């Protein structure tokens, strides 16, 4: 196991101890705490370091890469996962993926890329691996300090930090629907997080539930490995192929954004291109899309319609209820799968933070400015908590740059920082997409990356001007 140091190192280095009740708290001075060493946490460590901050990053697992590290118990990756966003829109702006990599690399390549990123910028030495954050509490709220309690085995330690960046990912806690009769069902039911390898499907009758990207990928795996595959979706979706007009589909979309075409025109053009390339989804027996393109994050899958067209995937409606041996669908059809895979998504979870600190609503949705800044605490941040129409890494990078520059401004010019903070705290909640989306957890942090990155750029310009 790799570790950045031990508690006794800190004692040896003379780190002061503050007393909080009967608990000793290590004072880490101006050090910033980052929670998680996935793509977002690594970007935070790098950019905070570049602004001159000492950083302690805590990572529950024993390596970097977060979700992309398939060795991690909570990784949602399965053997066939490839990028959905193409290489240029996925890589960090300051660390390109190799030229000879394909447009949509395999998940193991993404992990290699993140490991190289950590290596190149010397990030590992700032990460405490195998260390879970169990509590984050205001330490000295007036000074913006935080007490972070970590656990290794059964040993807990609390350290005081000048700021906390939460980068704990939001694709690890399964969102599980409950259906009538499910408890008495004798077949197997798993969540997609437990799906790792197509061998799990071989020779079985499989029902895949959910029309998101994972659901579609798993249905495609089942089409090739299972005895029979039903794919249940509640709504109609647009199924974009990975290539449009001979280019990765997201690059065509970016081109339209760069031309500053209004959303309605992009929707018209995109829907027309999809109809011309793959045809009307209802021709394949799939429900008609009940929304316009870009009003849900895109399903990017070139193989799903192909397999539906070959009869290897049978589209079916929502589940009504289970019996002991079957699944009854909304249209009354009764099917008898051996295995049901619930690709029903994930819920964001922050067990180490009380909901009040995140200004969370009754559903648990944190209220944040720019999906990044706490509205109440100027030194508490979240990164990577977005559901976008593009790769996440560039977004995590620019969020980290904004956080690091903001914290630096607090140090160098507290008065200007206070003015800046008032403007942030006073800004009304807003959505970062012009498209209408449903209020499901799937769209809580929906964003149009062009709109969002422009907003981050504006904040950066304000921070630069304030220096």
Smallest distance from ligand FAD to CB 84, Å: 4
* Pick 84 or 305: Cβ nearer ligand FAD: 84
* Pick 36 or 270: Cβ nearer ligand FAD: 36
Long-range contacts of 146-153 (CB under 8 A, 24+ apart): 146/33, 146/379, 146/380, 147/20, 147/25, 148/33, 148/35, 148/58, 149/352, 150/58
* Pick 124 or 205: Cβ nearer ligand FAD: 124
* Pick 395 or 407: Cβ nearer ligand FAD: 395
H-state helical runs in 51-154: 87-90, 107-120
Smallest distance from ligand FAD to CB 395, Å: 8
* Pick 144 or 391: Cβ nearer ligand FAD: 391
* Pick 44 or 207: Cβ nearer ligand FAD: 44
Smallest distance from ligand FAD to CB 72, Å: 6
**For residue 141, how far is the Cα from the chain centroid?**
29
Structure tokens at 407: 């914290």
* Pick 219 or 327: Cβ nearer ligand FAD: 219
Smallest distance from ligand FAD to CB 146, Å: 14
Start-to-end Cα distance in the chain: 41
In three-state secondary structure terms, 19 is strand
b/e sequence 45-54, b meaning 16+ C-beta within 10 Å: bbbbbebebe
* Pick 91 or 417: Cβ nearer ligand FAD: 91
**Spatial CB neighbours of 233, under 8 Å, sequence gap ≥ 6:** 210, 211, 215, 286, 287, 315, 317, 318
* Pick 20 or 196: Cβ nearer ligand FAD: 196
* Pick 174 or 384: Cβ nearer ligand FAD: 384
Q: Report DSSP state, residue 235.
A: S
Cα–Cα dist 197/214, whole Å: 13
CA distances from 299 to 277, 305, 426 (A): 15, 11, 36
Q: What are phi and psi of 432, to 5 degrees?
A: -105, 35
Q: Taking the CA atoms of the chain, what radius of gyration do you get in angstroms?
A: 23
Q: What are phi and psi of 309, to 5 degrees?
A: -60, -25
Cα–Cα dist 413/81, whole Å: 46
Interface residues with ligand FAD (CB under 6 A) are 35-41, 58-61, 66-68, 76, 81, 83-85, 90, 132-133, 167-169, 171-172, 214, 352, 384, 391-393
Smallest distance from ligand FAD to CB 420, Å: 25
Smallest distance from ligand FAD to CB 465, Å: 29
Smallest distance from ligand FAD to CB 200, Å: 15
**Spatial CB neighbours of 130, under 8 Å, sequence gap ≥ 6:** 1, 3, 59, 60, 61, 62, 152
Smallest distance from ligand FAD to CB 369, Å: 18
DSSP assignment of 172-218: SSB-----BTGGG--SEEEEGGG---GGGGTTSEEEEE--SHHHHHH
Smallest distance from ligand FAD to CB 279, Å: 25
* Pick 171 or 313: Cβ nearer ligand FAD: 171
* Pick 163 or 179: Cβ nearer ligand FAD: 163
Smallest distance from ligand FAD to CB 245, Å: 20
Residue 464 buriedness (CB in 10 A; 0-12 / 13-18 / 19+): exposed
Smallest distance from ligand FAD to CB 458, Å: 23
With beta carbons less than 8 A apart as the criterion, state whether 338 and 206 touch: yes
Stated length of the chain: 467
Smallest distance from ligand FAD to CB 311, Å: 26
The tally of CA atoms less than 13 A away on the side-chain side of residue 113 is 24
With beta carbons less than 8 A apart as the criterion, state whether 89 and 391 touch: yes
């Amino acid at each position: 196991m790799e570790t950045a140091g031990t508690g006794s190192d800190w004692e040896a280095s003379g780190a002061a101890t503050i007393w909080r009740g009967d608990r000793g708290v290590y004072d880490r001075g101006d050090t910033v705490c980052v929670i998680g060493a996935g793509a977002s946490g690594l970007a935070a460590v790098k950019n905070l370091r570049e602004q001159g901050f000492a950083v302690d990053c805590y990572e529950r697992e024993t390596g970097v890469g977060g979700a992309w590290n398939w060795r991690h118990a909570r990784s949602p990756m399965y053997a066939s996962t490839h990028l959905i966003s193409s290489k240029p829109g996925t890589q960090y702006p300051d660390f390109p993926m190799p030229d000879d990599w394909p447009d949509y690399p395999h998940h193991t390549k993404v992990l290699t890329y993140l490991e190289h990123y950590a290596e190149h910028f010397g990030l590992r030495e700032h990460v405490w691996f195998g260390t879970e954050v169990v509590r984050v509490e205001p330490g000295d709220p007036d000074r913006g300090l935080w007490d972070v309690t970590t656990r290794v085995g059964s040993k807990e330690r609390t350290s005081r930090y000048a700021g906390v960046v939460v980068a704990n990912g939001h694709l690890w806690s399964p969102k599980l629907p409950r259906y009538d009769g499910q408890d008495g069902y004798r077949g197997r039911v798993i969540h997609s997080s437990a799906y790792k390898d197509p061998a799990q499907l071989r020779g079985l009758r499989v029902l895949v539930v959910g029309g998101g990207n994972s659901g579609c990928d798993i249905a495609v795996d089942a089409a090739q490995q299972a005895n029979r595959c039903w794919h249940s979706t509640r709504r109609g979706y647009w199924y974009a192929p990975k290539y449009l007009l001979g280019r990765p589909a997201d690059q065509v979309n970016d081109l339209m954004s760069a031309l500053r075409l209004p959303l309605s025109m992009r929707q018209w053009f995109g829907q027309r291109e999809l109809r011309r390339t793959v045809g009307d989804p209802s021709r394949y027996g799939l429900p008609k899309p009940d929304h316009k393109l870009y009003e849900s994050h895109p399903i990017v899958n070139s193989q799903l319609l192909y397999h539906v067209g070959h009869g290897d995937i049978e589209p079916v409606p929502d589940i009504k209820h289970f019996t002991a041996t079957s699944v009854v669908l909304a249209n009354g059809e009764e099917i008898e799968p051996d295995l049901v895979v619930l690709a029903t998504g994930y819920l964001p979870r922050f067990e180490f933070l009380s909901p009040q600190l995140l200004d969370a609503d009754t559903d648990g949705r944190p209220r944040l400015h720019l999906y990044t800044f706490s509205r109440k605490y100027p030194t508490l941040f979240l990164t990577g908590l977005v559901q976008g129409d593009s790769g996440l890494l560039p977004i995590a990078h620019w969020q980290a740059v904004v956080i690091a520059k903001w914290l630096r401004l607090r140090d160098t010019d507290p008065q200007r920082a206070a003015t800046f903070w008032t403007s942030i705290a006073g800004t009304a909640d807003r959505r970062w997409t012009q498209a209408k989306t449903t209020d499901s957890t799937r769209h809580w942090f929906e964003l149009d990356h062009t709109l969002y990155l422009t907003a981050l750029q504006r904040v950066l310009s304000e921070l630069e001007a304030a220096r």
